[in-house]
Each structure stands twice: as C-alpha cells, then as structure tokens.
Amino acid sequence: MILAFFSIVILFYAVALLFAAKIWRKLPELDRSGELKSVSIVIPFRNESDNLDNLLQSISELDYPHQLLEVILINDHSEDSSTAIISPFEEHFAFKLRVLSLPVGLQGKKSAISIGIQHSSSEVILTSDADCSFPKNWVRTMQAPFEIEHIQLVSGGVVFKTKHFLDRLFQMEFAPLIGVGAVSIELGNPTMANGANLAFRKSTFEKLDPYAGNLAIPSGDDIFLLKRIKAEYPDGVFFQKESVVETLAPKDIRSFSKQRKRWAAKWRASSSLLDSVPAIAVWAFHLMYITAVLYSFITNEFLILLPVIVLKIVSEAIFIASILKSLGNTFKIGVFSILQLIYSFYVIIFGLLANFGNYTWKERKYKSNERAGN
C-alpha cells in the first residue's frame, strides 16, 4: 500500500513534467514586423568593475535604431573603479548613455531601478544586470510583444555562461526554473520571471508602485512586479522564448548557496500562503521521493518502484533537454546524471537552510527571514 502511494505520486510528477515539456515546445512566437518602439534599458550596478566593460560592449553591438534606444546605468554606491570604467564610453557610445547615482539614504537594486525609471524617456522599460551580455536582436524581440495592447510585462530566457563542469551543473539546475516560469505564464498563472531579461510598460510600473513596502528585501524586483501585474492584469504577462540573455554562473558552491538564499528570501517575502503551496509541494515531493527510494531498498521492493523512477528520470531529461535546446545550450548526460544523484537532497537541504541565518550580497548583509512591509 505504501509503495503504491509512492508510485502514484511519482507517476503524477512525471506526467506533469511531460505536459510542461509539451507546453514549452509550443510556446507562441510573435512576428516582429511591427513598428519599433522607443526603449529605455535600465541597469543598476554596484562594484561591477570586472563586468562593466563587457556589458557596455555588448550593449553597443545591439541592432536597434540609435534614436529609439537609451541606456541608463544607476550606481548603487559602488566602492570600486566602476565609474572610471564607464567614463570612456560616455562620449562616443552607440546609444544615448546616462549614468545616475543613488542619493545618500537610498540603496539597493529596487531603489536603483525606480530612479532609473523616473529618469527614463520611453514607455517600454527593459531591465537587466551588469554581468550580462545580449544577442544583437535582444531589444527587438523584447519590445515586440507590446504591440499587443493588453501585454504589460514580457519575460525572457536567461542562461549561465558555461566554461567549466560546475557552470554546466548550475546551468542544468537553473534551466527548469526558466521552463517552469515560462509554462506558468502560458497557463495564465505566472509564478516567476528573471530581472536579467525583463521588459514592462513604464506607465504600468508607475501605476502599481510594486516596490512600496519591500525595499528592505535586497532583490525581488522581478517577482514583486510580476505579482502586482498578475493581480491587476491577469492576462498581461508574456514569455518571449526567442530572447535569451547570458549571465555569469556562480563562482563556486558558496556563491551558489548565497544566490539561492537570496532568491528564496525574495520569493518568501513576496508570496502569500496560497502562493507558497507549489514551492512547498515541490519540497515535499523530493522528501517523499528520497523516503520512497530508501523504503524500497529496506523492504527489498525496489524493483516494484523502479518503473516509475525510470519514468521520472526520463521526464526530467526531456523537460530539461527541451529547455536547454531552445536556450542554445546542449544537454549533457554526464552532468544530468550527477544532478540526478544530488538534486533531491539539495532541494530538501536548501529549502530548510534558506529560511535561517544571514547572507551577503554586494558586500551587504541581509537576514534570510526578512519580510516585506505593507
């Protein structure tokens, strides 16, 4: 009876993933034949001296009319040589370039984005991070969905730059998050987006004021805005599968841990109890999965559970491979195999640790259990 229950739950999980993979492959693509819109790229930075040169070089190579694009960089009290790196670009940059600084008393990514939007001159705002690089058609693809009047926010794909095995492992772990976010948008219940590749209407941002009461949360610019738009415009979110931005992978396990703690903090701070149900369900599934495998070994009944375990693994491979292929990455069976061995343990451990202790981001310390205000 116990193994029958385990088998049914694992089977349901596998079928759900196959369904998600089918939706991912059929995500709509929009024709970019409409009139190009004026766009403002808004990017906050803090202590990004290692990345700003590559960032500005990538932006300068974008294929977009120079009179329709402005770039606004907002300095969040950098303590390195970031501003000195930007200076040579300002006079002869391919597009209008503005560099702003957060005033004393304001700090953090959401404050920086808000200041950038206040000084922008375009209705379409496109946000990213300072460690990103972009395909030449990035702006064209991200502004295209706004031809549809009811679209208020456009989310795009994000991949890690992969040079080493650890990068590829992080990328394979990260890909399903992009896939789940896209599928949830397509099903009309958006749950996540990534601020490294996000576009929205300035007027909608100003109307909703999505960061009010949550500036103490260090990130979450994407989630807070997504959830406000979802509440106000249920059909106003679109996933642009054609748009993929590259960003740096965490440098090591410690950096990865800090990143996931920060992501967990913003998700928890922005979510109601009802919104948290899917995340709790995923955590509970992986706990049950490990329990089921251990129980089947102890009772010498593993062969009974084996067919649904194989189906689970195959469905995860199909889902991840579909996403990686669309994002321009290659599915590596060796990396996938390692991920299979550790993933359920990782979900359980990080699901617990993310709720306790502190973490550091941009040389600032934060509490993992910080909550948004009202």
Residues 48 and 150 in one domain: yes
For 238-267, give the DSSP string: EEEEEEEEEEEPPSSHHHHHHHHHHHHHHH
Residues 291 and 308 in one domain: yes
**Within a domain: residue 259?**
no
For residue range 122-145, list pLDDT tens digits in order.
999 999 999 999 999 999 999 999
Residues 67 and 189 in one domain: yes
Q: For all residues of the chain together, what is the average pLDDT?
A: 89
Distance from C-alpha of 247 to C-alpha of 241, rounded to nearest angstrom: 17
Distance from C-alpha of 291 to C-alpha of 299, rounded to nearest angstrom: 12
**Within a domain: residue 91?**
yes
pLDDT value for 133: 97
Residues 77 and 150 in one domain: yes
pLDDT value for 105: 86
Which of residues 196, 217, 252 is at a domain's end? 252
Residues 117 and 14 in one domain: no
From the number of C-beta atoms within 10 Å of its C-beta (0-12, 13-18, 19+), residue 324 rates as: buried
Phi-psi region of 200 (alpha: psi -120 to 50; beta: other; left: phi over 0): beta
Residues 247 and 296 in one domain: no
DSSP H or E stretch at residue 126: strand 124-127
Residues 231 and 340 in one domain: no
Residues 69 and 145 in one domain: yes
DSSP H or E stretch at residue 193: none
pLDDT value for 359: 63
Residues 289 and 192 in one domain: no
Residues 148 and 176 in one domain: yes
pLDDT value for 156: 96
* Stretches in the chain below the pLDDT threshold 70: 31-33, 264-276, 354-359, 361-374
299's CB contacts (< 8 A; 6+ apart) are 3
Torsion angle (degrees, nearest 10) of CA 318, 159, 181, 356: 110
What is the phi/psi pair of residue 86, to 5°?
-75, -35
pLDDT value for 184: 94
Domain enclosing residue 211, as ranges: 29-252
Residues 83 and 217 in one domain: yes
What is the 8-class DSSP label of residue 194? -
pLDDT value for 266: 63
Which of residues 252, 286, 305 is at a domain's end? 252
- CATH code at position 109: 3.90.550.10
Residues 33 and 10 in one domain: no
**Within a domain: residue 372?**
no
What Å distances lie between residue 65 and 57, 136, 150, 367, CA to CA? 16, 12, 25, 44
Q: Is residue 173 a contact partner of residue 256, using CB atoms and an 8 Å limit?
A: no
The structural domain count of the chain equals: 2
**Within a domain: residue 265?**
no
**Within a domain: residue 264?**
no
Q: Where are the alpha helices (DSSP H) in the chain?
A: 2-25, 52-60, 82-90, 109-118, 138-143, 165-186, 202-208, 221-232, 253-270, 273-298, 302-326, 333-353
